[in-house]
Amino acid sequence: MSEPDSGTYVVEARGLTREYAGRPVLRGVELQVAGGEVVALLGPNGAGKTTLLRVFALLLRPNAGVLRVMGLDPRREPVRARRHVGYVGHESGCYEDLTAAENLSFHADLHGVGDPVRRVTELLVWAGLKDAAHRPVRTYSRGMQQRLALARALLHAPDLLLLDEPFTGLDRAGRDLLAHLLAALAGDGHTVVLSLHDPTPVAAVVTRAAILHRGRLTWVDGGSGGDPQAVAAAYDRVVGEA
Amino acid sequence: MRAALAIFRKDLRIEWRTRESLSTLVVLSVLLVVSLAMAHDPTPTEAARLAPGILWATVIFTGVLVVQRSFLVEREHDCLATLLGAPIDPAAIYVGKALGMLVLLVAMQVVVVPLVSIMLRVPVWGVLPELAVVLGLGDLGFAGLATLFAAMTARLRVREMLLPILLLPLLTPVLIAGVKATEAVLEGGLPAAGEALGVLVAFDVIFVVAGGLLFPFVVRD
Amino acid sequence: MRAMRWLGLATTVLMTVSLYLIFVEVPTEREMGIVQRILYVHAPAAWAAYVCFVLVAVGSVAHLWRGSEHGDRVALAAGEVGVLMCTLNLVTGPIWARPIWGVWWTWDPRLTMTVIMWAIYVGYVMLRAFGRDDDGVARYAAVVGITGVLAIPVIRVSVRMLQGMHPAVTTTREGGSGMADPTMRLTLYLSGIAMVLLAAWLVMLRVRLEALHRSAAVLRRDIEYGLE
């Protein structure tokens, strides 16, 4: 399959369905995200946000529907498709007995990143972890682990970055630092889909917002993408209905 | 298979840092050898006859108890998801993990073999290379099968109970052939162990190949 | 479900015939006496068990390769029936052995192998039962089912290396004395077919039960989460 052209969506989903233990979690989700967009995904707990992100991260297979990442079909070309995605879930995805540097080197190895030593150092500095780089991850604060997870997800320069409730468990300083990093990423033109409870920290950079409720996606219109008031109003409308 | 080696090295590094699996394995196996030896309370001639059995029973039982850990480390902090999200063939995870398990088993035997030799007064120094071959073949089959099953049970809720129950019956050929081969080697060197070695090799081939083929089905979602 | 009914009928007929043969028609074996008749159940149970274990593997492969739900149900059913048949074999064995050899158990290769197979498939059934609510357990069970069958030849060879406790007795098991009489052979084979048919019928029933069970679960789920 040839390389995707500039007109392709970064991620595209049609009729995405996914069950878990007999329960339907995603019911026919439709979504197209173009390059450079920052999409905020909101919804009550259990709405399926984590599931949707993990499907996009190619960690879960949809039971039905079409999914394309950079124009690639992950069922046919799983290895190629995975190169384009970086995922930060609820957990850090890093081994707590290893240091940040060792964790990042391992992932550079897995992804076949060129000039791994330089790249790892680059990301450690970017994430503000240079000083702590040689301590085991177990000793890190929640904020530091989040930034490490983010660095890990960015190591292979993915086109699509997926973040699952990245602000959970962070204190004020941690939130500000993370928001700052995300703004920088958005500014650089990265495509980001992140799930949140409250869009305020990233309101300035969000281009579109959507609400996931009972496995269905509804877009928020009116105002700028991340405008907290427009979002809150839409949220109440969609969720309150049920 | 660059990825397999990366995973193998990563596991070794973690193990070296914590030394949890190895120490548990070694201590457990020492305890088991001692317990079995005391339970049988053998005379010197009986002891020589019992030694291969005690050696292999120890390897199998303690192995089965510790094998689970290999995937528990991936379960924490969603690390398995990160492995699966990498652009690698899932079989690379299988090979990397199996290699790690193999090394662990060999390390355990480095302690247990001399222990059995001393406690049951069975001289092994003369046949060490041959014994190493027998143990190596057994370890390979064990690691191949156990890695497959450990990946599976790590994702179930009843995991601790079920893994030994599933593994032990399937490992009986390793136990039987291992003991017979060890007996033969102690008496007459490798040629005498022909049939038993054949069984071990067959087991290794079948289950390493099957493991590699079936592993992707176990880890995909 | 006509197939099931025909199978049920055939099984009933054949079982009745073979039971008649076992208890009435067949002559009493000279050396072993009346107890020998147990073998007409003991051996067929083993054959039925092995047929079931092969079914488990076939169903498992179908499920892994083609995503076949039916394959999964067949594997599940065959696993349970296989354990049943294997247990029957392991129970009738000692009942026969005690009067004949004076011992309840011996490490005869065939017996040893049956115990190991029993253990493998008990584990299979336990995995299915305890992991019932876990996602993907059908796939894991399929892997176990396939490895179980792959292990059979290796187990058979390795078990023969055991010296056993009574090497002499291996020659006088069912192959040995007493099968010269044609009525005995007929009874044995007929019982064999009857037992296999019984196993097949039980598997079909169990598959049907499981299919209904799963349909009910889907209906319940649809009601709970709203049909949309």
Band (B66; pLDDT cuts 50, 70, 90): confident
Of the partner residues B155, B165, B210, the one whose CB lies closest to the CB of residue C123: B165
Whether B192 has a pLDDT exceeding 90, the answer reads no
Task: Name residue, tokens 């009067």.
Answer: C99
- CB contacts < 8 A (A, B): 76
SS3 readout for B7-62: HHHHHHHHHHHHCHHHHHHHHHHHHHHHHHHHHHCCCHHHHHHHHHHHHHHHHHHH
- Tell me: the pLDDT tens digits for C121-162? 999 999 998 877 777 889 999 999 999 999 999 999 999 888
Percent of chain A with pLDDT over 70: 94
**How many helices and strands, by DSSP H and E, does chain C display?**
6, 0
Tokens matching residue A24? 């339907």
Residue C101: per-residue pLDDT: 77
The DSSP call for residue B193 is G
DSSP sequence for A50-61: HHHHHHHTTSS-
Band (A7; pLDDT cuts 50, 70, 90): low
Chain C positions touching B165 (Cβ under 8 A) are 122-123, 126
Q: What is the pTM of this model?
A: 0.88
Query: What's the CA gap between A207 and A39, in Å, rounded?
Result: 6
Band (B47; pLDDT cuts 50, 70, 90): confident
Q: What is the pairing mode between strands A64-69 and A11-20?
A: antiparallel
- Across all residues in chain A, what is the average pLDDT? 86
- CB contacts < 8 A (B, C): 94
A218 pairs with which residues across the strands? A211
3-state secondary structure of C79: helix
- How many other C-beta atoms are found inside a 10 Å radius of the C-beta of residue C31? 10
Residue C167: per-residue pLDDT: 41
Residue A225: per-residue pLDDT: 63
Helical packing angle, A100-111 and B2-18, nearest 10°? 160
Query: What's the CA gap between B108 and B87, in Å, rounded?
Result: 34
Residue C80: per-residue pLDDT: 96
Query: What's the CA gap between C15 and A230, in Å, rounded?
Result: 75
Query: Which residues, including other chains, have CB under 8 Å from residue A73's CB and lie 6 or more apart?
Result: A67, A81
CB spacing of B218 vs C116 below 8 angstroms: no
CB spacing of C217 vs A22 below 8 angstroms: yes
Residue of B1, B8, B82, B217 to mutate, interface with A, max A Cβ within 10 Å: B82
Query: What's the CA gap between B65 and B60, in Å, rounded?
Result: 9
Instruction: Confirm or reject contact between A24 and chain C (CB < 8 A).
Output: yes
Chain B positions touching C154 (Cβ under 8 A) are 173, 199, 202-203, 206
3-state secondary structure of A146: helix
Query: Which residues, including other chains, have CB under 8 Å from residue A196's CB and lie 6 or more apart?
Result: A40, A41, A42, A165, A166, A167, A202
Residue C172: per-residue pLDDT: 41
Lowest mean pLDDT among A220-234, B205-219, C106-120: A220-234
Residue of C221, C223, C224, C227 to mutate, interface with A, max A Cβ within 10 Å: C221
- Tell me: the pLDDT tens digits for C53-68? 999 999 999 999 888 8
Band (B169; pLDDT cuts 50, 70, 90): very high
Instruction: Confirm or reject contact between A93 and chain C (CB < 8 A).
Output: no
Partner B, chain A 54-83, Cβ-Cβ below 8 Å:
54, 57-61, 78-80, 82-83
3-state secondary structure of B67: coil
Query: What's the CA gap between C96 and C174, in Å, rounded?
Result: 11
Query: What's the CA gap between B79 and A242, in Å, rounded?
Result: 36
- The answer to whether B76 and B155 are in contact (CB under 8 A) is no
Chain A positions touching C134 (Cβ under 8 A) are 21
Task: Name residue, tokens 């390979």.
Answer: B140
- Tell me: the pLDDT tens digits for C164-185? 654 444 434 444 444 567 777 8
Amino acid at residue number B23: S
Query: Which residues, including other chains, have CB under 8 Å from residue C98's CB and lie 6 or more apart?
Result: C104
Chain A positions touching B77 (Cβ under 8 A) are 91-96
CB spacing of B155 vs C136 below 8 angstroms: yes
- The answer to whether C130 and C70 are in contact (CB under 8 A) is no
- The answer to whether B92 and B4 are in contact (CB under 8 A) is yes
Partner C, chain B 15-74, Cβ-Cβ below 8 Å:
none
Instruction: Confirm or reject contact between C140 and chain B (CB < 8 A).
Output: yes
3-state secondary structure of C181: coil
Residue C164: per-residue pLDDT: 61
CB spacing of C134 vs B173 below 8 angstroms: no
- The answer to whether B185 and B208 are in contact (CB under 8 A) is no
Partner C, chain B 148-207, Cβ-Cβ below 8 Å:
148-149, 152-153, 155-158, 161-162, 165-166, 168-170, 172-173, 176-177, 180, 195-196, 198-199, 202-203, 206-207
Task: Name residue, tokens 């920052």.
Answer: A38
Query: What's the CA gap between A19 and A28, in Å, rounded?
Result: 11
Q: Which chains touch A (3 or more CB pairs under 8 A)?
A: B, C
Handedness of CA B161, B167, B171, B172 (dihedral sign): positive
Query: Which residues, including other chains, have CB under 8 Å from residue A238's CB and lie 6 or more apart?
Result: A211, A213, A218
- The answer to whether B78 and A89 are in contact (CB under 8 A) is yes
Residue B160: per-residue pLDDT: 72
Chain C positions touching B218 (Cβ under 8 A) are 139-140, 143
Query: What's the CA gap between B75 and C129, in Å, rounded?
Result: 23
Query: What's the CA gap between C77 and C87, in Å, rounded?
Result: 15
Whether A57 has a pLDDT exceeding 90, the answer reads yes
Lowest mean pLDDT among B24-33, B144-153, C30-39: C30-39
Query: Which residues, including other chains, have CB under 8 Å from residue B62's CB and lie 6 or more apart?
Result: B25, B28, B29, B32, B108
Closest chain B CA to residue C112: B172
Q: Which chains touch C (3 or more CB pairs under 8 A)?
A: A, B
Helical packing angle, C182-225 and C39-66, nearest 10°? 40
Instruction: Confirm or reject contact between A239 and chain B (CB < 8 A).
Output: no
- How many other C-beta atoms are found inside a 10 Å radius of the C-beta of residue C130? 17
* Fold annotation for C2-165+175-225: Four Helix Bundle (Hemerythrin (Met), subunit A) (1.20.120)
Amino acid at residue number C178: G
- Tell me: the pLDDT tens digits for A149-203? 999 999 999 999 999 999 888 888 888 888 888 888 888 888 999 998 877 888 8
- Tell me: the pLDDT tens digits for B119-159? 888 888 888 888 999 999 999 999 999 999 999 888 877 76
Sketch the domain layout of chain C as residue ranges: 2-165+175-225
Whether C29 has a pLDDT exceeding 80, the answer reads no
Query: What's the CA gap between A185 and A194, in Å, rounded?
Result: 13
Residue A2: per-residue pLDDT: 40
Chain A positions touching C225 (Cβ under 8 A) are 23-24
Whether C228 has a pLDDT exceeding 90, the answer reads no
